[in-house]
Amino acid sequence: LDITWFTESMSLGKPVKVEPRHCLGVSDSSVSRDKATQEIPAYGCQRRTPLHHHNKEITDALEILALSASFQGSEARFLGFTRASSVLKSLPFRLQSVEEVKDLPWCGGHSQTVIQEILEDGVCREVETVKNSEHFQSMKALTSIFGVGIRTADKWYRDGVRSLSDLNNLGGKLTAEQKAGLLHYTDLQQSVTREEAGTVEQLIKGALQSFVPDVRVTMTGGFRRGKQEGHDVDFLITHPDEEALNGLLRKAVAWLDGKGSVLYYHVRARSQNFSGSNTMDGHETCYSIIALPNVCPEKPSPDAEKIEPDLDKNSLRNWKAVRVDLVVCPYSEYFYALLGWTGSKHFERELRRFSLHVKKMSLNSHGLFDIQKNATTLLHRRRRYLHILDSHMCRPPRETP
């Protein structure tokens, strides 16, 4: 996200002086390595975090340790490794020595050990041990199923489930979402390409526009950030006339279902008791699996063959199951929802942390709230600056992971 936009929106129109250090992260030979490392800002939302950067071996290793920490229920260690990885992604050069990270925010002792081993030996022993551990491998496989979070996967692991084929024994204990996740497991493991996302967009727009012709539909998530592939396709739906949005999501999904394009869906109603200081998103949301036409499915993995009995029958099909999330928001909250659903998850987390600790404001997908004024919404000021936000948010997608 462009820092000018960011500082402008966070101060609601009062431009904040943007120091050159805020623009670090872009390769610039004139910036000395020492100076660059000393001036990296602490919050992820203040840095450029390019998709393609200079220290991929190290950030991949740190992200494996972050994932492992989350599987073990350690939020603090997860955040520590995630933040260290995010900082290294913003470095405008390839690290040559662990000394270079000593002044960087979030790159403490444990991360430094990982960095040093990778720089010296090419691998980190702890990371290799984690990757080969049964717990890590099982949790990774189980949480890759749609509808299975860390808590469920951990319970299953403690009940003796180790691989996807073990899930056949759980039978009736699975939720409808998990059953759908298993039924379409092979397809959902494959990345959705940008081209496929474009086809999904046409399908979704066609359904929504058949009820409200001028409905505004925006692709969000990773594709809006310029990624070439993702695990799903996310859309934000709005209209200036909020009446037009009433019941639209359910009608459009039922319309697609009638055409045989919906494999699974669950609509979460808009939260009526949404609180301004809440970090949760209370918008009406549809979590779905769509049958994307004219795509040949890839060959299933041996593990998937054991849990998807119909795969043989399905091998002649010419459609691919794709995860699609649809979010409906009131027009007055559109830009906040757009910001919240563009991601990345880490960027959003850092943006909310920055808002709270530095600006004393609470930011979520519904608005920006002044916590010192007892969570009074800044709606009146928000309308004034909608046009500023609009012009800045309609830029070409930026490149962040």
- CA separation, residue 16 to residues 13, 21, 306, 323, 353 (Å): 9, 14, 58, 40, 18
Which of ligand DCT, Mg ion, none has residue 344 at its interface (CB below 5 to 8 Å by kind)? ligand DCT
Binders in 341-370 for ligand DCT, by CB under 6 A: 341, 343-345, 348
Cβ(178)–Cβ(142) below 8 Å? no
Question: 225-244: which residues touch Mg ion (CB under 5 A)?
Answer: 230, 232, 234
Is residue 325 flagged as an active site residue? yes
Q: Which of 28, 234, 241, 257 is catalytic?
A: 234
When binding is defined by CB under 6 A, the residue of 181, 222, 297, 367 that contacts ligand DCT is 222
> Candidates 35-43, 115-123, 138-146, 220-228 — which segment interacts with Mg ion by CB under 5 A?
220-228
Candidate list 2, 303, 325, 370, residue with the active-site label: 325
The listed partner (ligand DCT, Mg ion, none) that binds 345, CB under 5 to 8 Å by sort, is ligand DCT
Q: Which amino acid is at 162?
A: R
Min dist CB 236 to ligand DCT, Å, is 10
Q: Is 232 in the site for ligand DCT (CB under 6 A)?
A: yes
Closest to ligand DCT by CB, 37 or 70 = 70
Task: Give the single-character DSSP code of 239.
Answer: -
Contact yes or no for 306/296 (Cβ under 8 A): no
Work out the burial of residue 266: count CB atoms within 10 Å of its CB; fewer than 13 is exposed, 13-18 middle, 19 or more buried: middle
CB of 312 to ligand DCT, least distance (A): 29
Q: Is 335:386 a contact under the CB 8 Å cutoff?
A: yes
- 162-221: which residues touch ligand DCT (CB under 6 A)? 221
As beta bridge partners, residue 237 has 217, 328
Tokens of 294: 């004219």
Does 398 engage in binding with ligand DCT (CB under 6 A)? no
Closest CA to 217 of 326, 103, 360: 326
Chosen from Mg ion, ligand DCT, none, partner binding at 343 (C-beta under 5 to 8 Å by type): ligand DCT
> DSSP characters for 256-282?
HHHTT-EEEEEEEPPPTT--TT--S--
- In terms of CB distance, is 166 or 350 closer to ligand DCT? 350
Decide if residue 348 touches Mg ion (CB under 5 A).
no
Of the candidate residues 8, 100, 196, 234, the single one contacting ligand DCT (CB under 6 A) = 234
Whole-number minimum distance, CB 1 to ligand DCT, in Å? 12
Among Mg ion, ligand DCT, none, residue 154 binds (CB under 5-8 Å by kind): none
Does the annotation count 390 as an active-site position?
A: no
- x-or-dash pattern for ligand DCT, window 284-313, by CB under 6 A? ------------------------------
Contacts for 1 with CB less than 8 Å, ≥ 6 apart:
45, 339, 342, 347, 351, 398, 400
DSSP single-letter state for residue 13: T
> Hey, CA dihedral for 128, 134, 139, 142, is it positive or negative?
positive
Count of residues engaged in binding ligand DCT, rule: CB under 6 A: 13
CA pair distance 22, 309, nearest whole angstrom: 53
Provide the β-strand partners of residue 369. 362, 377
**Of 317, 327, 345, 332, which Cα lies nearest the Cα of 260?**
317
**What's the full length of the chain, in residues?**
401
Residue 230 interacts with ligand DCT (CB under 6 A)? yes
Strand partners, 35: none
Task: Say which of 103, 232, 303, 370 is annotated catalytic.
Answer: 232
In angstroms, give the least distance from the CB of 234 to Mg ion. 5
Q: Among this protein's residues, is 232 annotated catalytic? A: yes
Is the Cβ of residue 319 or residue 341 nearer to ligand DCT in the bound state?
A: 341
Residues forming a β-bridge with 192: 230
Query: What's the DSSP call for residue 202?
Result: H
Tell me which of Mg ion, ligand DCT, none is bound by residue 44, counting a contact when its beta carbon lies within the kind-specific cut-off of 5 to 8 angstroms: none
Q: Which of 94, 135, 194, 231 binds ligand DCT (CB under 6 A)?
A: 231
Minimum Å distance from CB 206 to ligand DCT?
Answer: 22
Per DSSP, the three-state class of 325 is strand
Binding residues for ligand DCT, per CB under 6 A? 221-222, 227, 230-232, 234, 340-341, 343-345, 348
Binding residues for Mg ion, per CB under 5 A? 221-222, 230, 232, 234
Q: Which residues are tagged catalytic?
A: 232, 234, 325
